[in-house]
């Protein structure tokens, strides 16, 4: 079965620092990839998604992610984080209509 | 559009009690899902439905039941609550499963004592 790995459980950054959160998946076929964000006390919201085409995907709030097929990765990036980016971030992968989520990475941005 | 709504927001159950978590969506989505979210574990799919009258098991279905009598509603039933079912439950919906974004409800926090 498909598995999704997010290696960083908790990341702490200062404002204006650059962010990269790792996401790796195990399936070797065609996949659809997502990053969701969950702000404190709120429900999950879609940040960005990749289905096909340009492997560099831009999402909301200045986030982007790059699909690297050879590395089975879909890492999330942001050049300069803000305090309001404090949240939990989930990577998700769909293959053959089976959607799996990673365990999540908690991001804390210090003002 | 209200999107996906869930009730209740929070509930405490005693071991062995039963309850139904309600989920409603007003986006006319075919697919609906129930997930549980546990710390450090991400989201695990409990059950999903591809349309009214059709449901199927997800990754962690034991201890739960669902029904889908209408497009809008997808209730999740716990028959004999156990401490292991203490979790946050999220309902989600999407137009299609493979290619469409899932929209999530606000969650129900359940504590079983």
Strand partners, B37: B43, B88
DSSP B15: T
Average pLDDT, chain B: 92
Q: Sort out which chain A residues have CB atoms less than 8 A from B42's CB and list them.
A: 4, 6, 90, 101-104
User: Would you state the pLDDT for residue A16?
Assistant: 96
Instruction: Report CB contact under 8 Å: B105, A97.
Output: no
- Cα–Cα distance measured from residue A9 to residue A4, given in angstroms and rounded to the nearest whole number: 13
Compute φ and ψ for B17, nearest 5 degrees: -75, 165
Strands (E), B1-113: 4-7, 10-13, 19-25, 31-38, 42-51, 54-57, 64-66, 76-78, 87-94, 103-104, 108-112
Of A36, A92, A103, the CB nearest to B40: A103
Q: Residue B39: pLDDT band by 50, 70, 90 thresholds?
A: confident
Query: How confident is the model over A52-108, as pLDDT tens digits?
Result: 899 999 999 999 999 999 999 999 999 999 999 999 999 998 876 677 899 999 999
d(CA B47, CA B25): 16
State whether residue A51 sits within 8 Å of chain B by CB: yes
């Amino acid at each position: 079965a498909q598995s999704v790995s997010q290696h960083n459980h908790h990341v702490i950054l200062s404002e204006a620092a650059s962010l990269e959160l790792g996401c790796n998946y195990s399936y070797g076929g065609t996949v659809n990839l997502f990053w969701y964000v969950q702000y404190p006390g709120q429900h999950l919201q879609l940040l960005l998604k990749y289905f096909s085409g340009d492997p560099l995907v831009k999402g909301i709030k200045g986030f982007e992610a790059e699909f690297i097929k050879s590395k089975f990765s879909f890492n999330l990036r942001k050049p300069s984080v803000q305090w309001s980016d404090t949240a939990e971030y989930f990577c998700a992968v769909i293959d053959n209509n089976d959607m799996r989520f990673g365990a999540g990475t908690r991001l804390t941005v210090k003002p | 559009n209200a999107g996906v709504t869930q009730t209740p927001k929070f509930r405490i159950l005693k071991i062995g009690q039963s309850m139904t978590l309600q989920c409603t969506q007003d986006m006319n989505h075919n697919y609906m899902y129930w997930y549980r979210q546990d710390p450090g574990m991400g989201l695990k799919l409990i059950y999903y439905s591809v349309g009214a009258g059709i449901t199927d098991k997800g990754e962690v279905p034991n201890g739960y039941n669902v029904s889908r009598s209408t497009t809008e509603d997808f209730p999740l039933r716990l028959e004999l609550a156990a401490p292991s079912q203490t979790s946050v439950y999220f309902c989600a919906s999407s137009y299609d499963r493979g290619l469409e974004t899932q929209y999530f409800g606000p969650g129900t926090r359940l504590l079983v004592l």
